[in-house]
Amino acid sequence: MGEQTLPLAGIRIVEFSHMVMGPAVGVILADLGADVIKVEPVGGDQTRRLLGSGAGYFPMFNRNKRSICLDLKSAKGLDAARRLAERADIVIENFRPGTLDRLGLGYEALRARNERLIYCSAKGFLAGPYENRTALDEVTQMMGGLAYMTGPPGRPLRAGSSVIDITGGMFGVIGILAALERRHRTGQGGEVKCSLFETTAFLVGQHMAQKAVTGEAAAPMPVRVSAWAIYDVFETANTDEQLFVGVVSDGQWQAFCQAFGLETLAADPAHATNNQRVLARDTLLPRVRELFRTLTRAELIARLETIGLPFAAIVRPDELFDDPHLVAGAGLVDVTIPGGEQTRLPALPIAFDDKRPALRHDIPAIDQDGADILREIGLAEADIAELTRAALAE
């Protein structure tokens, strides 16, 4: 897909962000073709230097962006940031409430100079009693019920990815694209806010609805009453190779029984409907578990794929580097990580006209594009040289 044919080609975005949520908004829009300028502090975004579970944040969420470092505590750095923002179609920020307002980079100040501006603030909370609290992905998973639903009873457990940061960012993108469409009609920009806590509430809404419908609170996922009888993780002949299998319709039940020699179960009228099988789960599951332990995972997959049942091998994230589907389908993009090593990371999970958005700009080095960006907003060469020297100072 050529750069000019990407859906957001020609849209300029200025991103004041760090960690995951704000950069997630930016990387989605960047992959869709927008020119995203990432404004970093002097010496670069601290997210670049995180260790442990944070080591992958910057590489994953900052490709297809251009980097400029500006000291927002200096008059010239702040002036350059204002010029950038005033010329942008979209501004993204995810700092604590009021931080950019105090610098003259808040929505009201910028809107006064650019009525077409769309301004997206990614926060912990929308308006309400909590809105000035400090929030993190894990904090809102705990207070929004997701950790309760993920772990076993009495042991709340955060999900195994920054799901709220990322999903919250996706809602930010939805809001931005809606505001862009409105701008096409009205010529006016607007303010978009997305948040961690309200995103968590939306994700657990199905469990709230379950309580409303049944009168009983949803049990954590490890001890839930499944809507289907065969819908679980199973051991195979090789105990380190687990497999998830779901049988979610009456037709699938018949196909499953025929494929695995369980015709007597299929013929039993007591197991004819899904709800009957759910009530008989304590009888059916042990029999299926015993059967699956006699077959290797490869044998099970071959048979399940033939009959079209939903299944999944249980894999680690690092095993996806070699996943044949991702590799064959342009599902991974080549990027350069710190130290100059090449790796492949997941592409945006969208296709346009059967083409996946690809890498246009590698993960930027600190202030890699600063001088070019400053020229684009009309700064004199002497000022560019001064700001460039300051950008890399520690």
Q: Which residue numbers are catalytic?
A: 165
Q: Provide the Cα torsion 256, 260, 264, 265; round to 10°.
A: -40
Measured CA to CA, the distance from residue 344 to residue 363 in angstroms comes to: 12
What residues contact residue 240 under an 8 Å CB cut-off, 6+ apart? none
Residue type, 202: F
CA dihedral 289, 294, 298, 304 (to 10 degrees): -50
The alpha carbon of 120 is separated from its chain's Cα centroid by a whole number of angstroms, namely 17
Beta strands in 298-358 (DSSP E): 311-313, 332-336, 342-346
CA 257, 260, 262, 267 torsion: positive or negative? positive
Report the Cα 228 to chain-centroid distance in Å: 28
Neighbours of 41 (CB within 10 A): 17
Please report which residue ranges of the chain form alpha helices under DSSP H.
Answer: 21-31, 57-61, 75-86, 99-102, 107-111, 137-143, 146-150, 163-186, 196-203, 205-214, 250-259, 263-267, 274-279, 281-292, 297-307, 324-328, 370-376, 381-391
Judge contact between 45 and 391, C-beta under 8 A. Answer: no
Q: Hey, what are 45's tokens? A: 């975004």
